[in-house]
A and B are shown apart, each in its own frame.
Chain A
Amino acid sequence: MKIIVLKQNLMEAINVVQKAVMTKATLPILEGIYIEAGEKVKLIGNCFDLGIEYTLDADVQRQGSVVIEARMFGEIIRKLPDAPVYIEVLEGFKVRIECLNSYFEIRGMDGDTYPMPPVYDSEFTLSLPQAVLKELIRQTIFAVGNDENRKIMTGVLMEAVQGELKMAALDGFRMAVCSSVIKEDVNFKVVIPGKNMQEILRVLETSEDAVTISMAGSLVSFDLKNCRIVSKVLEGEFMNYSSYIPAQFETVINVNTRELEESMERASLITSEDKRYPVRINLSYDKMVISSTTEKGLSKEEIQIENSGNTMQIGFNPRYFLDALKVINDEKIKISFTSPVGPCIITPIEHDRFLFLILPVRLKS
Chain B
Amino acid sequence: MKRVVFLVDMNAFYISCETTRRPELAGIPAAVAGDPKKRSGIILAANYEARKYGVKTTMTVGEAQKRCPEIILVPPDHSFYEEKSRQVMELLSGYTPIIEQASIDEAWLDMTGCEILSGQPRAAAERIMADIRDKLDLMCSIGISENKFLAKMAAEMKKPMGITELWVHDVPEKLWPLDVKAMYGIGNKTAQLLANLNIRTIGELAKVDPAVLSEKLGKFAFEIHQKANGIDNDPVTPHSPDEMKSIGRSTTLPEDITDLEEARKVIMELSEEIAMSARRHNKKGRTVQITIKYSDFKTITRQTRISPTNLARDIMQAGFMLLEKNWNRFRPVRLLGISISGFEEDFCDQVSLFEQANIGHDRVKEEKLERTLDQLRLKYGLDKISRAALIKRDPS
Chain A residues in the interface with B (C-beta under 8 A): 24, 26, 146-150, 170, 172-173, 175, 239, 243-244, 274-278, 294, 315, 317, 341-343, 359-362, 364
Tally chain B residues at the interface, Cβ within 8 Å: 26
User: B351, A359: Cβ atoms under 8 Å?
Assistant: yes
CB B16 to nearest CB in A, in angstroms, measures 36
Collect the chain A residues with CB atoms within 8 Å of residue B305's CB.
146-148
Q: Measured between C-beta atoms, what is the minimum distance from A180 to chain B in Å? A: 25
State the Cβ distance, A59 to closest chain B Cβ, in Å.
42
CB pair B346–A244 under 8 Å, yes or no, is no
Residues of chain A lying within 8 A (CB to CB) of residue B344: 274-276
Which B306-333 residues sit within 8 Å CB-CB of chain A?
A: 306-307, 314, 317-318, 321, 328
A residues less than 8 Å from B302 (CB atoms):
24
Q: Give 10 new A-B contacts, CB below 8 A, not counting A149-B307, A149-B314, A149-B318.
A: A147-B306, A150-B307, A150-B360, A275-B345, A276-B345, A276-B346, A361-B349, A362-B349, A362-B351, A364-B349
B317 touches A149 (CB 8 A): yes
Residue pairs across A and B with Cβ atoms less than 8 A apart, 18 shown, are A147-B306, A147-B307, A148-B305, A149-B314, A150-B360, A170-B353, A173-B352, A175-B353, A243-B357, A244-B353, A274-B344, A274-B345, A276-B348, A277-B347, A317-B350, A343-B353, A359-B350, A361-B350
Interface assignment of B80: CB less than 8 Å from any CB of chain A: no
Instruction: Chain A residues near B345: list those with CB within 8 A.
Output: 274-276
Give Cα A96–Cα B350 distance, bound, in whole angstroms. Answer: 57
A244-B347 contact in complex given A26-B328, A149-B317, A359-B352, C-beta closer than 8 Å: no
Tell me what chain A mostly uses at the interface: helix, strand, loop, or mixed: loop
Q: Chain A residues near B307 (CB, 8 Å)?
A: 147, 149-150, 172
Interface hub of B302, B317, B351 (most chain A Cβ within 10 A): B351
Ordered nearest first, which 8 A-B pairs have the shortest CB separation? A362-B349, A147-B307, A359-B351, A148-B304, A361-B348, A275-B345, A149-B306, A147-B306
Instruction: Please tell me if the beta carbons of B321 and A341 are within 8 angstroms of each other in the complex.
Output: no
B396 at the interface (CB under 8 A from A): no
**CB under 8 Å from chain A, chain B span 59-101:** none
CB neighbours of B356 from chain A (8 A): 244, 342-343, 359
- Which residues from chain A contact B314 at a C-beta distance below 8 Å? 149
User: Residue of A at shortest CB range from B305?
Assistant: A146
Query: Are A278 and B348 interface neighbours, CB within 8 A?
Result: yes
A275 to B305, CA, bound (A): 18
Complex: A172 Cα to B356 Cα, angstroms: 10
Closest to B346 in A: A276
Q: Which residues of B contact A146 (CB under 8 A)?
A: 305
Q: Mark B19-52, 1 if CB is under 8 A from A, else 0.
A: 0000000000000000000000000000000000
Asked if A148 contacts B350 (CB within 8 A), the reply is no
CB distance from A29 to the nearest CB of B (A): 16
Whether B184 sits at the interface, judged by CB under 8 Å, is no
Rounded to whole angstroms, the CA-CA distance of A274 and B342 in the bound complex is 10
- Which residues on the B side are within 8 Å of A149 (C-beta)? 306-307, 314, 317-318, 321
Q: Chain A nearest CB: distance from B268 CB in Å?
A: 15
Closest B residue, CB atoms, query A277: B347
Taking a contact as CB atoms under 8 Å apart, the answer to whether B353 and A172 are in contact is yes
B295 to chain A, nearest CB (A): 16
User: Within 8 Å CB of B357, what residues of A?
Assistant: 243-244
Contacts of A274 in B (CB 8 A): 344-345
A169 vs chain B, min Cβ distance (A):
12
| A138 and B87 alpha carbons, distance in the complex (Å) | 52
The residue of chain A having its C-beta at the shortest distance from the C-beta of B344 within the complex is: A274
A221 to B300: give the CA distance in the assembly, Å: 33
Residues from chain A with a CB closer than 8 A to the CB of B351 are 173, 341-342, 359-362
Residue in chain A with minimal CB distance to B309: A149
Inter-chain contacts of A278 with B (CB < 8 A): 347-348
Known: A147-B306, A147-B307, A149-B318. A359 touches B347 (CB 8 A): no
A192 to B357, CA, bound (A): 24
Is there contact, CB below 8 Å, between A317 and B317? no
In angstroms, how far is the closest chain A Cβ from the Cβ of B329? Answer: 11
Which residues of B in the span 146-203 have a Cβ within 8 Å of any Cβ on A? Answer: none
Contact A277-B328, Cβ < 8 Å, known A148-B304, A172-B307, A175-B353: no
- Taking a contact as CB atoms under 8 Å apart, the answer to whether B328 and A275 are in contact is no
If the complex has contacts A148-B305, A149-B317, are A275 and B353 also in contact, measured as CB distance less than 8 A?
no
A342 neighbours in B (Cβ, 8 Å)? 351, 356
Whether the pair A359, B353 counts as a contact (CB closer than 8 A) is: yes
A343→B352 CA distance, assembly (Å): 9
Chain A nearest CB from B331 CB (Å) reads 10
Q: Give CA–CA (A170, B352) in the complex, Å.
A: 11
B350 neighbours in A (Cβ, 8 Å): 173, 317, 359, 361
In the bound complex, CA of A170 to CA of B305 (Å): 16
Taken together as a complex, chains A and B put the C-alpha atoms of A24 and B325 apart, in Å, by 12
**Contact call B347/A276, Cβ cutoff below 8 A:** yes
Q: How far is the CA of A342 from the CA of B349 in the complex (A)?
A: 13
Q: What residues of chain A lie closer than 8 Å to B317, measured between beta carbons?
A: 149
User: Shortest beta-carbon distance, A241 to chain B, in Å?
Assistant: 9
**Are A277 and B353 CB-contacts (below 8 A) given A149-B314, A149-B318?**
no
Chain A residues near B352 (CB, 8 Å)? 172-173, 359
Contacts of B349 in A (CB 8 A): 361-362, 364
Cα separation A354 to B151 with both chains bound (whole Å): 62
Most-contacted residue by chain A among B302, B304, B349, B353 (CB, 10 A): B353
Q: How far is the CB of A32 from chain B (nearest CB, A)?
A: 19
A278 to B353, CA, bound (A): 18
Within the assembled complex, what's the spacing in Å between the Cα atoms of A315 and B359? 23
Rounded to whole Å, the gap between the CB of B75 and the closest CB of chain A is 35
Cα separation A175 to B356 with both chains bound (whole Å):
13
